[in-house]
Amino acid sequence: MPPALVLSGVTKLFGKIRALDALDLTLEAGSIHGFVGPNGAGKTTMLSVVSGLKRQTSGEIEFGVPARQMMLMPDTPEFFPLLTAREVVDLARHPFRHEIDETDVASIIREVGLEEAIDRRVGGFSRGMKQRLGLAAALIGRPELVLLDEPCSALDPIGRREVLDMISQLKGRATVLFSTHILSDVEDVCDSVTVVDHGRAVYEGTVKGIKKKRGQSFEQAVLELLLPERGEK
């Protein structure tokens, strides 16, 4: 199968700041790929560039899926506060209304654990609830490429587990690019990982590969990759 997404030398400049620095990335179709790095490493910028919300300064992006089959969930999803959860997901279904039945709206809201709040206005939702709703809105169209920006950052441990399970279930059905700085989440669900710092990839390969290479836990190995980048011992 051709890759779902290929980034070649993608650079994004904000004035003199190099948010992405000749970034290369290949996403195998049907895989779950973690995009790991500290705050300000360029994770959100990369997802914005891939989803077309920002334009790269240079470099190439090739998609193996149609543009409408790509969906982004931002790290703090916000919705129109006067809509109910059901209306938000139904609105998200609109571009796929010929393929996705209206009954799927309630079932995906149930899957993300918001069944009791389905007819409540989202203006009163907590950040965690918004993240769950964001996931439902991102997945309702059964996209082939899912871009998730720190999808568990506001969730409690149970919510985190549920969302990670949902992401795991996408394996084979969709390609997932999953940005986070919670390393254990990557180890749990991802097949491959890119470790990024200052907009540059410092590691790209399998999750298992990074362990073998260093003979340490995943977390320690990633930290060791990042610390020299920052000039620390």
Partner 1 sequence: MNLWRMELIHLFRSWRGWTLSGIYLLASLISLFVGFFIERANGSFPYSQAIDWYITFSIVGTLVFIGIVVSSLAFDGNRDSSIFLRTRFSMKQILLTKATVYFLLSQILFFAGFLIALLGGLILFDTSDHLNFNWVLWGLLLYLISDLFYVALMLFTSSIFRGPVISVLFTLAVILGFPLIGSTLISLELLMRGLIEIPFADWETTSYVAKALLWWPTALEDTQGFLGVTNSEVSSGYISFLGVSYPLDAHFRQDALITTIVSTPILAFLAWLRFSKREI
Q: Which stretch binds partner 1 (CB under 8 A): 29-37, 52-60, 158-166, 172-180?
A: 52-60
Q: Taking the complex as a whole, how short is the minimal distance between the CB of residue 48 and partner 1, in angstroms?
A: 7
Q: Taking the complex as a whole, how short is the minimal distance between the CB of residue 54 and partner 1, in angstroms?
A: 5
Candidate list 8, 40, 53, 205; residue touching partner 1; CB under 8 A: 53
Residue 35 interacting with partner 1 (CB under 8 A): no
Q: Which stretch binds partner 1 (CB under 8 A): 23-31, 82-90, 182-190, 212-220?
A: 82-90
Binders of partner 1 in range 104-133 (CB under 8 A): none
Residue 71 interacting with partner 1 (CB under 8 A): yes
Paired strand residues for 5: 27, 63
Smaller CB distance to partner 1: residue 55 or 230? 55
Q: Taking the complex as a whole, how short is the minimal distance between the CB of residue 51 and partner 1, in angstroms?
A: 6
Binders of partner 1 in range 157-186 (CB under 8 A): none
Smaller CB distance to partner 1: residue 23 or 207? 23
Query: HEC states along the chain?
Result: CCCCEEEEEEEEEECCEEEEEEEEEEECCCCEEEEECCCCCCHHHHHHHHCCCCCCCEEEEEECCCHHHEEEECCCCCCCCCCEHHHHHHHHHHHHCCCCCCHHHHHHHHHCCCHHHCCCEHHHCCHHHHHHHHHHHHHCCCCCEEEEECCCCCCCHHHHHHHHHHHHHCECCEEEEEEECCHHHHHHHCCEEEEEECCEEEEEEEHHHHHHHHCCCHHHHHHHHHHHHCCCC
Retrieve residue 84's tokens: 């109910």
Candidate list 108, 137, 166, 196; residue touching partner 1; CB under 8 A: 137
Residue 48 interacting with partner 1 (CB under 8 A): yes
Q: What is the DSSP letter of 68?
A: G
Tell me the angle at which helices 127-139 and 103-111 cross, rounded to the nearest 10 degrees.
130
Q: What is the DSSP letter of 88?
A: H
Candidate list 60, 62, 78, 115; residue touching partner 1; CB under 8 A: 78
Q: Taking the complex as a whole, how short is the minimal distance between the CB of residue 139 and partner 1, in angstroms?
A: 13
- Contact status, residue 142 vs residue 174, Cβ threshold 8 Å: yes
Residue 17 interacting with partner 1 (CB under 8 A): no
Residue 103 interacting with partner 1 (CB under 8 A): no
Residue 99 interacting with partner 1 (CB under 8 A): no
Q: Under the rule (CB under 8 A), what is the footprint of partner 1?
A: 48, 51, 53-55, 71-72, 74, 76-80, 82-83, 87, 90-95, 137
